[in-house]
Amino acid sequence: MALVFYSDSDRFEPWRDALTAAVPDLEVRNWDEAGDPAEIDFALVWLPPQGALQRFPNLKAILNLGAGVDALLKDPSLPKGVPIVRMVDDDLAKCMAEYVLLHVLRCHREQPALDAQQRAKQWRIVASPAACHRRVGVMGLGAMGGEAARHLLAVGFDVASWTRSAKPMPGVEGFHGAEGLAPFLARTEILVCLLPLTAETRGILDRDLFRGLPRGAYLINAGRGGHQVEADILQALDEGQLAGATLDVFATEPLPADSPFWTHPKVTVTPHNASITNPHSAVRHVVESIRRVRAGEPLRNVVDPAVGY
């Protein structure tokens, strides 16, 4: 059995070592040394070039190295009928939840304004309410959003969620569907986007949505750049409708040097590193998928291309 590996960054060796330690009879080949395409059973990939996967005629599963599969699904030549498995891993979700908690707390305690005061040697006390009086709204309650909501609840925030269909979670006020969006936004002071990127959610973070938030709300987007209309974010910041934005994802990545986000005083930029799949914890999911294919058992976390995640 052979697996081919592709990632946009250099992480072949740790994955090869982790996989061969767990499945000694699996040959793990890097993309440029894939050998005979007919020998490849599995592709473990992150952002492979468009059209690249169709050259493996005997592929049994495409295993995505990350949680989001929007980039994969954009490829019209994906081999038909080959299941795509999303990465669902505890550490991946926990790292995302830490990112959300860090930046929600920064907004909640108005740390960006305090940082600016420090640079200006300004002593001005800014009082923040206790977390239970801060209303945080999480869009998307999947593996990532669910863990983020649990972390926020543990600190005592007043948490609501907005999802495509009803998704009850204890302690979280749930809103869903088109009719649930306006009341969700109206009560949300810190908005966290962890939605999958689909035809329905593309461009959802736009001017109309920001207008639905209370004036001076914060935006944290660790979903996808495709969720946000970047010109609308800048306008909402400049008009004061948004007090600040923390963005981990962008329409173009790496973020171009001339992007106004880099230097905007109300924007925090992180380089799409809110949560990165780590072979030490995630290898077991890849191994389990391989075991299931070999045993003829159904795969878990299979993507539904019709829904988009």
Residues of the shown chain interacting with ligand GLV in the complex, contacts defined by CB under 6 A: 66-68
Please give the residue whose beta carbon sits closest to ligand GLV in the complex: 66
Which member of 106, 224, 227, 285 is catalytic? 224
Q: How far apart are the first and last CA of the chain?
A: 27
Smallest gap, in angstroms, from Cβ of residue 309 to ligand GLV? 10
Smallest gap, in angstroms, from Cβ of residue 144 to ligand GLV? 8
Minimum CB distance to ligand GLV smaller for 66 or for 137: 66
- For 67, 171, 181, the CA distances from 101, given in Å and listed in that order, are 19, 17, 23
Q: Is 124 labeled as catalytic in the residue annotation? A: no
120 and 141 in contact (C-beta within 8 Å)? Answer: no
Minimum CB distance to ligand GLV smaller for 243 or for 283: 283
Smallest gap, in angstroms, from Cβ of residue 161 to ligand GLV? 19
Minimum CB distance to ligand GLV smaller for 68 or for 146: 68
Minimum CB distance to ligand GLV smaller for 34 or for 282: 282
Minimum CB distance to ligand GLV smaller for 67 or for 243: 67
Q: Which of 172, 184, 108 has its CA nearest to residue 145?
A: 172
For helices 90-108 and 279-295, what crossing angle results, to 10°? 140
- Strands, E, within the chain: which ranges? 2-6, 27-30, 42-45, 61-64, 84-85, 135-139, 158-163, 173-176, 190-193, 217-221, 242-247, 267-269
- For 137, 147, 213, the CA distances from 170, given in Å and listed in that order, are 15, 13, 24
Smallest gap, in angstroms, from Cβ of residue 223 to ligand GLV? 8
DSSP-derived letter for residue 228 is B
Q: Is 108 labeled as catalytic in the residue annotation? A: no
Which member of 272, 280, 291, 292 is catalytic? 272
Cα–Cα–Cα angle for 21, 37, 287, rounded to 5 degrees: 25
Smallest gap, in angstroms, from Cβ of residue 292 to ligand GLV? 21
Residues tagged active-site: 224, 272
